Structure 1
Amino acid sequence: MLRQSDNKLTALYCRLSRDDELQGDSNSIVNQKAILSKYAKENGFKNPLFFVDDGYSGTNFNRPSWGELIEKIENGEVSTLIVKDMSRLGRDYLKVGFYTEVLFVEKGVRFIAINNGIDSANQQDSDFTPFLNIINEWYAKDTSKKIRAVMKSKGEAGEHLCTNPPYGYMKDPDNRKHWIVDGEAAEVVKRIFALCLDGYGPSQIARILKEDKVITPTIHFQQTGRATRNAPPDNPYNWTGDTIADILERQEYQGHTVNFKTYKQSYKNKKTCYNPEEKWLVFENTHEAIIDADTWARVQELRKNKRRPTRTGKTNMFSGIVRCADCGEKLYYCTSRNFEARQDYFVCSTSRLKGKEVCPTHFIRAVVLEQGVLAHMRMAIACVANHEEQFRKAMGAKQKAEARKELAAKRRQATQAERRIEELDRLFKRIYEDNANGKLSDSRFQMLSDDYEQEQEELREKLLQLNEEIIQQEEQAENIDRFIGKVRKYLDLEELTPTVLNDMVKAVYVHAPDKSKGYREQQIDISYDLVGILPAAMLNDLQNGETA
């Protein structure tokens, strides 16, 4: 037997992954420790010290105890490393091979795998080691393949794939596959969505929750006995903008199960990658909703139009909503520390950046805009409250007339796009044949094919968007009922607030002022959520017709 340096360690390494647990007690940490202790004692190895990684995959070498062991080996503190078998070291044959064939040899570490009969002190025993490494990696690959197949089957059947429900939900004690609402957390989720409708961004919402001493999701999970991957923050109220943004974007709060949002590239690489939305599978109404569909959709619209505070720190509820009626671009909110509220104004971004020649100046004071929008909203609300059936008929007639024209135009565009895609396919075949016959140079072929492919890609995207718009328009009938339901919430509207504005209004279009009559006159069009623009003339006719 080889002599061991008296002051160096005998490292006894144990590892157990979640997959190994399924095989019973043979690979348990307790069993591994018993085998290693007995072997070290019977063979006279001194200074034994255990290094244990419980719950870590063999393909992942980023393990805490393994890192500590390697550091000691590199510092020359270890003379012998003993494991139960090769698979405990790892299941990546390249990395295991590096340690056993290179690092351990350089550092003079004797390596022993008991059950495999491997001892680096006997070269003949080590000849079969590379083959064992390959077999262990194959096992890891095969296990990963089986797990993926099971997860795919579960995901396609509508089962939840995540280990823990998102903040706001918890597992049903009577059925672990079903989610139920976590009352305390759900109230915070509702507040976050309400604050977003009030015009606050993720960072501002995080600051409000922090000031109000609302505990973070990680702390809440700890207090309710749920395991968490994240270390608890030093400040239990330290919400971040990223956490808020993640909550605001989760479809699960509508009561839906969303599977296949992420994937792993391989069993060796544990980095999480994100799938595009078209690869997601969404199963609707699988659990109780915390946020209704209208609120969730409105919040997503607001998130697209992100608002940044001005240098003065001032914000306005119309920022991101008010647009130029001519060019369609946003109007900038302009203010100063010295301005009174009546002096704040909006101006067309195109006109300001590119000049009046490109787009005429669309200037409107913030207070005038607010007064005009409030007056129009109160008129629309009064129409619904007093003349609901007439409003329904008028909206139906308006939408049918407009929808017929818009749908016909969009269907024509979709047909043209499909024909052009087919034509590009024929052109591509023709230039391919010309290139093969020597009639077209390789460089010219490459240039033309790149152009055709780019045009086809743009047409496919346009076609997809057109088809989505056609489907949306065909669903507009039910939107009238949903809009009336929204209006009923604000029958006694006296003041315009960010919550009301963001709930009811999708966009406000400001026209250029008309001074031809000797005074300034300016048209404002309000595009309401679900129903679009409601002309003031139509609303007046309804009221006059009813009272006549």
Structure 2
Amino acid sequence: MKPCFGYIRVSTQKQGEGVSLEAQKDAITVFASQHNLSVIKWFEEKETAAKRGRPIFNQMLRQLKQGKAAGLIMHKIDRSARNLRDWALVSELPSLGIDIFFATESLDFKSRGGRLAANLQAVIAEDYIFNLREECIKGMTGRLKQGLFPWGAPPGYLNQGGGKPKIPCPKTAPLIKLLFELYASRQYSYNSLLDEMHRRGLRNTRGGKLTLCGLGNILQNPFYIGLMYIKSSGQTYEGIHEPIVPVATWKRVQDIRAERSGPKSTRHNHLLQGIFRCGLCDKAMVPELQKGHVYYRCKQMSCSTKTVREDVLENAILAELRQLQLTAHAAKKVAEAETPDTIVTLDEQRAALSLQIADEERRLDRLEDLVIDGTLSPDAFQRKRHTVQLRVVELRDQLDRMPDSAAAEAYQEKLAELRKSLVLLYENANRAEKRMIIENVWPNRTVSGRKPAFEPYSWVTKVESCVTLLCGAQEWDRGRRGHGIKSYDNSLIQPLFSLLDYVGKSDDHHPEP
């Protein structure tokens, strides 16, 4: 009996759990017994034949060329290869003295007609898989254009079946939102955030701890704000699923991830770590513990900015807060601002936002025309398209957060109370809350020489125009390194309102988290 190898294959792991492999094996066994052949070794693979470089397939070919078997038995031609490169490797075996048999097809590789028939079937198999791939891509693209994600739900969402949007998971969606908020606080590195979220109960699909790669994929995934980014094509689509992360938080996370001087896990975890930058060279001010005191110095050793003690910086922060804090008279003026003007302004702002959204959508159409005309390359189009789509999502989020007249009046009163209590809030805050106050009051915090400098947001510098601004009016604030940040400050200071409520319930200093 001629010794042969038996090769069986299915395209996916799921198919391998069924009867397909066993059916192929039984057919090959029957064929071998009828033709005086003996299967001395089985090679089983669970991978598509359209993919080149299958490890078990290549291992089998190497052993055949080493003379470990005189023949090869497969179920059908499409079980061996569905790409012409791998088929060429199979079809050259007869020239090496190795016989090829197919259990369900009578093909004689020793004759010209048999080889021609086999080659034609191999070409048909490749064409079939190519057409199938195109149809699958067409179907998935159609789903994406409908706002549906045709693959498995990312962490924080649940599948509902084909043709239905993903829905937030009641158990993990709040944890995903918390993950973004914790990282946006600049208090966690990747490693410390992994430990914290594992402690709070966030697990991967296998029930284990998230990996660094998995955490990075979550933090950069725009699916959580309503967009679907397809890495293979570079395209972004608007989804109809419910977002679980605010756009402002997601963008802040992306800014932090893009910075080279992100938060580090240190033994001391200093209060102002990552808060200040050098006003001369824009490098980060790094902390050092020396003789019981924390000093901050410029990361650039040759810079003329000198070391500054942490208590000096904190005293400067308190002094700046006292200057920004409203007096009782000014706070009353803010709280009693005229509401009719506010109502008109809100309507105008909603109309302005709607016009901006329409402009951005028209901009997308113009980008497509530029690609058709050949003025814009496809890669540049995808980058610009992603930026515009992100901007549209941000504008829609701002429009959804616009308050009504009653909410605007309550907002004014809350703002007045907040502006009147800045120093008290800071003095009663714990470490994380102090950092939150600093970052929400001053977008730019620098040290030049030994002198700290602060550039506040407009919401703490304007008094009479606070109603218009804080109810959603557009305001250009200068961000770090002088970049313009177009922000709606009701989302900017909302965390401070929560802190104000908490401090107002108790005069005692609350413990560190």
Residue 82 of structure 1, CA deviation: 1.6
Give the distance between the partners of 1:502 and 1:58, measured in 2 at CA: 55
- Residue by residue over 1:415-454, the C-alpha shift from the partner in whole angstroms, topping out at 9 and shown as x without a partner, is xxxxxxxxxxxxxxxxxxxxxxxxxxxxxxxxxxxxxx9x
| 2:4 alignment partner, SS class | strand
2:288 maps to 1:336: yes
User: Which residue identity lines up with residue 102 of structure 2 in the other structure?
Assistant: A
Counterpart in 1 of 2:194? 206
Residue 178 of structure 1, CA deviation: 3.3
Residue 120 of structure 1, CA deviation: 2.9
| 1:119 alignment partner, SS class | coil
Counterpart in 2 of 1:376? 321
1:393-472 to 2 correspondence within 5 Å? Answer: none
| 2:444 alignment partner, SS class | strand
Residue 217 of structure 1, CA deviation: 0.4
Give the distance between the partners of 2:311 and 2:116, measured in 1 at CA: 85
Give the distance between the partners of 1:294 and 1:385, measured in 2 at CA: 28
User: Which residue identity lines up with residue 213 of structure 2 in the other structure?
Assistant: D
Residue 83 of structure 1, CA deviation: 1.9
1:455-494 to 2 correspondence within 5 Å? Answer: 493=425, 494=428
The CA RMSD over aligned residues, in Å, is 5.2
1:57-76 to 2 correspondence within 5 Å? Answer: 57-63=48-54, 65-76=56-67
Counterpart in 1 of 2:431? 497
| 1:81 alignment partner, SS class | strand
Please, which of 112, 133, 139 is the counterpart of residue 144 of structure 1?
133
Residue 208 of structure 1, CA deviation: 4.0
| 1:47 alignment partner, SS class | strand
Residue 153 of structure 1, CA deviation: 1.0
- Residue by residue over 1:432-479, the C-alpha shift from the partner in whole angstroms, topping out at 9 and shown as x without a partner, is xxxxxxxxxxxxxxxxxxxxx9xxx9xx99xx99x979x97xx79978
Give the distance between the partners of 2:108 and 2:327, measured in 1 at CA: 85
Give the distance between the partners of 1:47 and 1:484, measured in 2 at CA: 80
Counterpart in 1 of 2:456? 526
Please, which of 367, 372, 389 is the counterpart of residue 311 of structure 2?
367
- Residue by residue over 1:510-529, the C-alpha shift from the partner in whole angstroms, topping out at 9 and shown as x without a partner, is 57779xxxxx98652223xx
Give the distance between the partners of 2:58 and 2:212, measured in 1 at CA: 33
Counterpart in 1 of 2:116? 127
1:183-198 to 2 correspondence within 5 Å? Answer: 183-198=170-185
2:237 maps to 1:281: yes
Residue 45 of structure 1, CA deviation: 0.9
Give the distance between the partners of 2:327 and 2:283, measured in 1 at CA: 26
Residue 204 of structure 1, CA deviation: 2.5
Please, which of 232, 240, 251 is the counterpart of residue 211 of structure 2?
240
Give the distance between the partners of 2:153 and 2:329, measured in 1 at CA: 44
User: Which residue identity lines up with residue 78 of structure 1 in the other structure?
Assistant: A
Give the distance between the partners of 1:489 and 1:293, measured in 2 at CA: 27
Counterpart in 2 of 1:47? 39
| 2:313 alignment partner, SS class | helix
Counterpart in 1 of 2:246? 292
- Residue by residue over 1:287-341, the C-alpha shift from the partner in whole angstroms, topping out at 9 and shown as x without a partner, is 3x4333343333333333353568975554544443456x6x5353243342434
Counterpart in 1 of 2:493? none
Residue 105 of structure 1, CA deviation: 3.4
**Structure 1 segments unaligned to the other structure (5+ residues):** 221-235, 264-273, 404-452, 515-519, 541-548
Give the distance between the partners of 2:327 and 2:106, measured in 1 at CA: 84
- Residue by residue over 1:29-49, the C-alpha shift from the partner in whole angstroms, topping out at 9 and shown as x without a partner, is 444334322221111112354
Asked if the contact 1:320–1:330 (Cα under 8 Å) also holds between the matched residues in 2, the reply is no
Asked if the contact 2:331–2:417 (Cα under 8 Å) also holds between the matched residues in 1, the reply is no
The number of residue pairs the alignment matches comes to: 415
Give the distance between the partners of 2:453 and 2:213, measured in 1 at CA: 39
2:171 maps to 1:219: no
Give the distance between the partners of 1:319 and 1:392, measured in 2 at CA: 42
Please, which of 83, 89, 97 is the counterpart of residue 80 of structure 2?
89
Change in 2 beyond 3 A, CA 1:167/1:478: closer
User: Which residue identity lines up with residue 237 of structure 2 in the other structure?
Assistant: L
Counterpart in 2 of 1:153? 142
Residue 78 of structure 1, CA deviation: 2.0
Give the distance between the partners of 2:136 and 2:62, measured in 1 at CA: 33
**Structure 2 segments unaligned to the other structure (5+ residues):** 350-375, 467-513
Give the distance between the partners of 1:180 and 1:300, measured in 2 at CA: 24
| 1:344 alignment partner, SS class | strand
Residue 157 of structure 1, CA deviation: 0.9
Give the distance between the partners of 1:12 and 1:168, measured in 2 at CA: 44
Give the distance between the partners of 2:67 and 2:27, measured in 1 at CA: 25
Give the distance between the partners of 2:141 and 2:464, measured in 1 at CA: 53
Change in 2 beyond 3 A, CA 1:346/1:313: same
Give the distance between the partners of 1:52 and 1:392, measured in 2 at CA: 78
Percentage of pairs with the same residue = 16
Change in 2 beyond 3 A, CA 1:93/1:158: same
Change in 2 beyond 3 A, CA 1:52/1:149: same
Residue 372 of structure 1, CA deviation: 4.2
Counterpart in 1 of 2:102? 113
Give the distance between the partners of 1:513 and 1:110, measured in 2 at CA: 81
Change in 2 beyond 3 A, CA 1:468/1:280: closer
Give the distance between the partners of 2:432 and 2:136, measured in 1 at CA: 48
| 1:15 alignment partner, SS class | strand
Residue 388 of structure 1, CA deviation: 4.9
Residue 111 of structure 1, CA deviation: 0.6
- Residue by residue over 1:178-220, the C-alpha shift from the partner in whole angstroms, topping out at 9 and shown as x without a partner, is 323334433442442243134212133124456x495740422
Normalised TM-score (structure 1): 0.60
